[in-house]
Structure formats: C-alpha cells, structure tokens
C-alpha cells in the first residue's frame, strides 16, 4: 500500500508555527507587563474579599448585627467627609496592591545532603531499639527512611542537630528507666558530644523531643539578691524549669535570670542541705554564697574541715559566731549549737503552752555551715574523742521549729563517711562538678533529664529540693577574696557583701583596713579583762543556761564587768 503524502501545512509549516508561538508569547508578556498593576490590584481585591468572608463566617450570629452597624457607620462617616470617597478609594487600592504583590518563593525546608545523611545514620542506629520481628508495619527497619520517624528537626551552623522530635512505636518500654537511658545515651553520642541535651518523653503520644541546652552563664558575681527572708539563692538554671526571675547586675547592665531558690524556716519541707562534689568544683564557693546571704537576717557558725582558710574573710564579722578549723573548737561550737537548739525548743514550747508568741531570741535564724566534716571524724577517732557528726543529730532533727539550718559540704569520694543523721535529714541536695548518671541518681534520688558532660566550669552541677524536679545549677562566683588567683571584680564583689567588723567589748570600733583586700585586725588598746565567751562553750551542758547572750551581746558583759 503506497504512502499518502502529508498535508502541505504539516510538512513545511512547522517554522511558521514556531514563529506564531513566539509572537503570541511576546504579545502575552507585553500585555502582562502593561497590565501588571491591574493584575496585582485585582489579586489583592480578591484576597481582601476572601479575608472579609472568613471574618464574617467566624463572627458569631449574635454579633453580626453590631458588625454591620459598625461597617455602615464607617461608610457613612467616610461619605460625609470632604474628599472622603476619594481617600477611601486610594486607601483600598493601596491595600489591594500590597496584598496582591508577588511573594518570594520560600526557601526549601528540607535538609541538605549532609544533614540528610546525619538523620539517616541516626535512624539506622535506632532500628535495633525501636523494631521487632513481630511488627507487620515497622516504623523502624533496616534500609527504611527517616521522614516518618523524624517529623521535626533543626540544625545549627556547624551541621549538628539542635532540636529533634522522634516518633517511636507504642510497644517500646518508655516507662523503664534503663530503656530510656539507653536511648538517651545513644542520641547524645550520635548528635554530638560535649553538649547537654534535654529529653522530654511523651508517653501518651509515643514521642520523644530532644533539644540542646544553652550553657548556663558563668559570669554571675556575688551580689544582693532580691529575695524574702527565709529564701536563699543556690544558683541559676534554665528559664524553662522555673517560673521566676531575679534582676541581676552585670557591670552597668541589668538582666533577669531564673534562680534556684531554697526556702528555709518553719514552713520549709527541706530545712537542711547537703552539697557534694569533687575538689575544685565549687562546694566551698556555694557555702560562702549561702553564708553571705544568711548574714543578712541571722547568725552563722562555720566549721572548716579543709583547713585552707577558705572562710578567713568572715572571721570577726557581725553575725559570725565562730569560724573553727580545729577539733577542740569544732566540738565546743557544735555542743553549743545542740544546746542552743534545745533551749530554743524549750522556750518556744513554753510560749505556746502559755498562749504567747515565741520569744524574739528564738526567731533569729541560726546557720551551721560545715565544710568537709568527715575530716574531723577521722581526727576524733585517732584522738579517742567524740565524733563531731554525732552532735548534729539534734540540730538536724529539731532544727526546723527552732530556726536552725544545717548545710554540709563534702566530697563525693568520702560520702560514705557521713553519718546517718546527715544523710537522712538533708533533703535538699546539690551535686557540683562532673558526675556519672548513677552518682547523680543515688545522691539526688532521681536521674536528671539532661546528659551530664565530662568537663564543666566550677560551680556547675545539679540541684534537687526535696521531691521536686532536678535542676541544672550554676553557683554565683563567690571566691575567697584573700586568694591571689581571684579577679579584682569578683574580689571586690565579695568584700562589698561582707558585714562590718564586730565592735569590741570596750566600745571602740576597729577601723577597716585600706585597700581592696582586707588585712588582719589592727591592735586595739588593751581592754579591761572581761569573761572570754569561748571557754563558756567548753563547759558542761548543764552550766550553760542561756549561751546566746554570751556570744551575741559582749557589750552587756563588759558593762557588768565594769
């Protein structure tokens, strides 16, 4: 069968069709350029009309009459104004032109090649934990894709994960601490070491949210905190964990930082504190910070088991009853503290039975701060003397109604040497420095929701008050002002918070030394002989009817002597 020739218009008219298409496209582009303002305004009017319809449909029926009256009133006012309709038309056209403008296409939200590879490797690492052979439609499988498992993700400038939402199957044992710990350790290792991650488990929705925590500020110096009596700032934490902030000063700047506030007193549920850490992690700094805050409203007795003079700056200050670093003085001070606790309890009980308020001398808080008390335990055992920790049983057990607070700081490797009353009655706990998850859980009673890191700055750790949540903690910088390695700014900040020197018994004021660093007290004129309050502490318990006036009111003793 012979082929019939193609029509002439199809055989040699292809060039004409191409030219016609080009002419039509050129004409359309020219018309679009000419009519572009009209097209933009028309598109904007259409969007404004759609927005008006949505607003009308969202308005409840009982409010539509008032809305119509408002629109009619506006139209009437515009119609009666000079040049009102013209201004209204210009405003409408401008709004339509703005709404009808061509918006730039948004950048693609998908990950790039390196980010997708990181997500895929993380997905493959989770397959052994989130998959089982009996699952007919597994969410996690070897060779699968991560899109359904990771609906939300974010990366930083270096390409590491900063936020990730993970869906896991319902049969995963998310209620077991060991299963959670395995997943958290794997995610921390795969997402990048050296950072702290916060894990939020949502058991109802089978969802895990992983977020990178920002480092806590380490440049917060010691200062006066805006707190009420009975509130002590242990340090500062993340803004998502607490609902309170404190105004702090950074040189000439002011900043609000969320604190970890420890409440003591009659209504406190955790009246005593235990701080643990390795050497150089900031436990002594925490005790100095607590002492400076406690001296605003109470008296302080300090027991220094380190023997390095970390609290020499507080010696002889108003409100500091004693700073002891020797075993005889420690035993005498703790015996007095136990007797004072009993005296306060008896006085308050008698006042309650008589229907009177407690005496004023039982309301002033008394703080007993002990740094490394286990050092005196070994020394007392070697000298066949009483263990100083045994004298803490009365202040620890009955300190809350007597306004007596005990704070103990000890090293992690000697925590087993602490007495049973100390471990039983210190419900507020702080762990500073690097520690494993097992150590944190054994001390705090609950695991933290973050991954501990190996290298942390001094004063960095975790805190838990009673049965509350575990907080990240950064203790404010409160160094020893007599230490040569201390910066001038931090040294001056601590010196500004120190109370003045105690007035001698003869009534003469000891002048403060010149310069930023405090020097030992200058030799004052020899006073008349007065009874020394220190030997009173070493007398038997029954010979101390009321030891508080002996320590806190030396002026009256001088008056009696004269």
Radius of gyration of the chain (CA): 37
Longest CA–CA span in the chain (Å) reads 147
- Degrees to nearest 5, angle at CA 199 with 197 and 202: 165
Residue 529 DSSP symbol: P
CA–CA distance, 322 with 470 (Å, rounded to integer)? 34
* CA distances in angstroms from 241 to 1, 236, 238, listed in the order given: 89, 10, 6
CA–CA distance, 204 with 136 (Å, rounded to integer)? 22
CA–CA distance, 529 with 117 (Å, rounded to integer)? 83
CA–CA distance, 348 with 337 (Å, rounded to integer)? 16
Q: Which of 425, 433, 431 is nearest to 466 (CA)?
A: 425
- Degrees to nearest 5, angle at CA 295 with 290 and 301: 75
CA–CA distance, 149 with 167 (Å, rounded to integer)? 5
Provide CB contacts within 8 A for 357, sequence distance 6+. Answer: 351
Q: Cβ distance 386 to 317 under 8 Å?
A: no
H, E, C per residue of 450-467: ECCCCCCCCCEEEEEECC
- The torsion angle over the Cα atoms of residues 321, 324, 330 and 332, rounded to 10 degrees, is -40
Q: Which of 499, 546, 495 is nearest to 519 (CA)?
A: 495
CA–CA distance, 409 with 428 (Å, rounded to integer)? 12
CA–CA distance, 364 with 361 (Å, rounded to integer)? 6
Residue ranges of the binding site for ATP: 277-284
Q: Cβ distance 234 to 286 under 8 Å?
A: yes
Residue ranges of the binding site: 277-284
Q: How many CA atoms lie within 13 A of 339 on its CB side?
A: 19
């Amino acid at each position: 069968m012979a082929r019939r020739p193609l029509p002439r218009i199809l055989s040699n008219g292809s060039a004409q069709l191409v030219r016609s298409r080009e002419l039509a496209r050129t004409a359309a582009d020219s018309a679009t350029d000419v009519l572009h303002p009209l097209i933009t305004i028309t598109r904007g009017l259409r969007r404004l009309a759609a927005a008006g319809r949505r607003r009308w449909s969202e308005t409840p029926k009982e409010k539509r009459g008032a809305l119509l009256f408002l629109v009619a009133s506006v139209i009437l006012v515009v119609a009666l104004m000079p040049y009102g309709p013209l201004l209204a038309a210009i405003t409408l056209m401008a709004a339509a032109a703005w709404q009808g403008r061509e918006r730039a296409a948004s950048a693609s939200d998908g990950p790039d090649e390196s980010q997708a590879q990181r997500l895929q490797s993380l997905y493959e690492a989770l397959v052994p934990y989130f998959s089982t052979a009996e699952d007919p439609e597994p969410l996690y499988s070897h060779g699968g894709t991560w899109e359904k498992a990771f609906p939300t993700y974010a990366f930083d400038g270096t390409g590491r994960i900063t936020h990730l939402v993970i869906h896991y199957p319902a049969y995963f044992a998310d209620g077991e601490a060991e299963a959670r710990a395995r997943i958290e350790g794997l995610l921390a290792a795969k997402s990048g070491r050296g950072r702290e991650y916060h894990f939020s488990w949502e058991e109802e929705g089978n969802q895990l949210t992983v977020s990178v925590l920002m480092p806590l500020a380490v440049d917060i110096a010691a200062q006066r905190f805006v707190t009420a009596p009975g509130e002590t700032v242990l340090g500062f934490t993340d803004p998502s964990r607490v609902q309170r902030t404190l105004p702090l000063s950074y040189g000439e700047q002011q900043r609000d930082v969320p604190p970890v506030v420890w409440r003591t007193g009659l209504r406190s549920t955790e009246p005593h504190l235990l701080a643990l850490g390795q050497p150089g992690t900031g436990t002594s700094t925490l005790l100095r910070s607590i002492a400076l805050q406690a001296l605003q409203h109470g008296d302080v007795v300090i027991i220094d088991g380190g023997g390095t003079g970390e609290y020499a700056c507080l010696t002889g200050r108003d409100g500091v009853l004693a700073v002891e670093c020797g075993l005889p003085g420690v035993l005498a001070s703790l015996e007095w503290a136990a007797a004072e606790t009993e005296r306060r309890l008896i006085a308050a009980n008698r006042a309650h039975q008589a229907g009177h308020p407690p005496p004023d001398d039982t309301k002033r808080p008394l703080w007993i701060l002990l740094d490394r008390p286990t050092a005196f335990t070994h020394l007392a055992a070697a000298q066949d003397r009483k263990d100083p920790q045994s004298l803490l049983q009365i202040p620890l057990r009955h300190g809350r109604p007597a306004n007596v607070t005990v704070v103990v700081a000890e090293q992690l490797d000697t925590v087993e040497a602490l007495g049973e009353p100390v471990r039983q009655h210190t419900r507020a706990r702080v762990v500073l420095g690097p520690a494993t998850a097992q150590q944190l859980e054994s001390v705090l009673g609950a695991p933290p929701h973050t991954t501990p890191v190996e290298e942390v700055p001094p004063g960095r750790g975790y805190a838990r008050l009673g049965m509350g949540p575990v907080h990240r903690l950064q203790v404010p910088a409160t160094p020893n002002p007599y230490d040569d390695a201390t910066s001038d700014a931090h040294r001056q900040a601590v010196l500004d918070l120190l109370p003045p020197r105690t007035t001698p018994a003869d009534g003469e004021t000891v002048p403060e030394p010149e310069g930023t660093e405090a020097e030992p007290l200058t030799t004052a004129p020899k006073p008349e002989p007065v009874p020394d309050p220190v030997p009173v502490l070493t007398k038997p318990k029954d010979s101390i009817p009321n030891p508080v006036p002996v320590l806190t009111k030396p002026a009256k003793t001088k008056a009696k002597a004269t």
